[in-house]
Copies of this chain bind each other. A is one copy, B any other.
Amino acid sequence: MEKKRTEIASLGEFGLIDRLTQGFDHHHSSTLCGVGDDAAVVAPSEEEETVITTETLFEGVDFDLSYFPLKHLGYKVVTVAVSDLLAMNARPRQLLISLGLSAKIPVEALDDLYEGIRFACKEQKIDLVGGDTRASMTGMVISVTAIGGVKKGQAVYRSGAKKHDLICITSNLGAAYMGLQLLEREKRVLADVANPEPQFKGYEYLLEKYLKPRPRTDILDVLEEEKILPTAMIDLSDGLASDLKQLCRASKCGARIYLERIPIARQTSELGEEMHIDPVIATLNGGEDYELLFTVPIALQEQVMRLGVVDVIGHITDEAAGCYLVTPDGGEIKLKAQGFPEE
């Protein structure tokens, strides 16, 4: 069945924005003015600090529309921004989306994208307060700004980790990276097939971790309930090695993490074996897990381990000691940030 295709130009700019932003409820009384004016207006609370982050995602670099369903992409861009707020110990409140669109994108594709954004906003009680679309010469560009709130004095920075603090992570890592490898493999394999039927059976978890990662708001709930305030926190978007190094750099400290303590999902190991990818590399350098890494004083060791939702993978050391991964046989591997070359 042919999908309906409406050209963006046929709606007009007002019509397009109206269509995309319908069905977004406001959940916060602090949202005074949302989509449709020059800017959004928010009434800050006297008990809170405001936290703001912005991220821009590029087609061809951050996502491949040939296999990334637009609904999932909409959901994921919200996670990408919200995850930065959570890493400051802040709760998401408002969202602004700014799109760059090539002429080849029909309105129906944008409907799908916004359905994903709408779903994420409903699920996480976030108010969409700004939306803007304009032409892009090439691929799709999605820019997200998220605004959150945190109780005064409770923001958690990257810079607060102290020697002997425990390093905690909130899930197994590397699964999102393996999900991406799987999608890329199927794309290559099926490039010349008329009616492609990609083989994902048994790897659904990896696909979900890559295509629709959930922001770990639940971790903030647990920590708040247990009255645990991390000394430092960062979200795992670039890979464990790079993100831990960034936290250490901000905190002027070093770190030792232990390979056997880093959880790896069964599907990650299985696909790794099948594709000859070391799951440890996926874990250290894969990125896009959108889990949280935080540090707590060693005195909280028992309490943290009782939570059942985090793994303690190592501890903070002196800055001079550097950042190392310790293997089961006692070997030490210096952690390197990936992506950009080492400085």
Smallest CB gap from A342: residue in B: B12
Give A51 to B33 CA distance when docked, in angstroms.
9
Given B14, B33, B137, which contacts A343 in the complex, CB threshold below 8 Å?
B14
Q: Once the chains are docked, how many angstroms separate the CA of A109 from the CA of B271? A: 43
Please name the residue on chain B nearest to A85 by beta carbon. B39
- CA of A150 to CA of B40, assembled, Å: 12
A58 near B249 with CB under 8 A, answer: no
Q: Residue A36 at the B interface, CB < 8 A?
A: yes
Copies in the complex: 2
Q: A39-B88, A58-B134 are in contact. Are A48 and B44 (CB under 8 A)?
A: yes
Chain A residues with a Cβ closer than 8 Å to the other chain, count: 79
Q: Does A267 contact B (CB under 8 A)?
A: no
A234 within 8 A of B: yes
Closest Cβ of chain B to A135, distance in Å, is 5
Interfacial residues of chain A within 231-249, with CB under 8 A of chain B in the complex: 233-235, 246, 249
Q: Are B44 and A134 in contact (CB under 8 A)?
A: no
Return chain B residues, CB-CB under 8 Å to A37. Answer: 88, 157-159, 250
> In the complex, what distance in Å separates the CA atom of A9 from the CA atom of B145?
27
Contacts of A284 in B (CB 8 A): none
Q: Mark A62-87, 1 if CB is under 8 A from B, else 0.
A: 10000000000000000000011101
Q: How far apart are A150's CB and chain B's nearest CB, in angstroms?
A: 7
Measured in the bound complex, the distance between the Cα atoms of B137 and A136 in whole Å is 12
A273: CB under 8 A from chain B? no
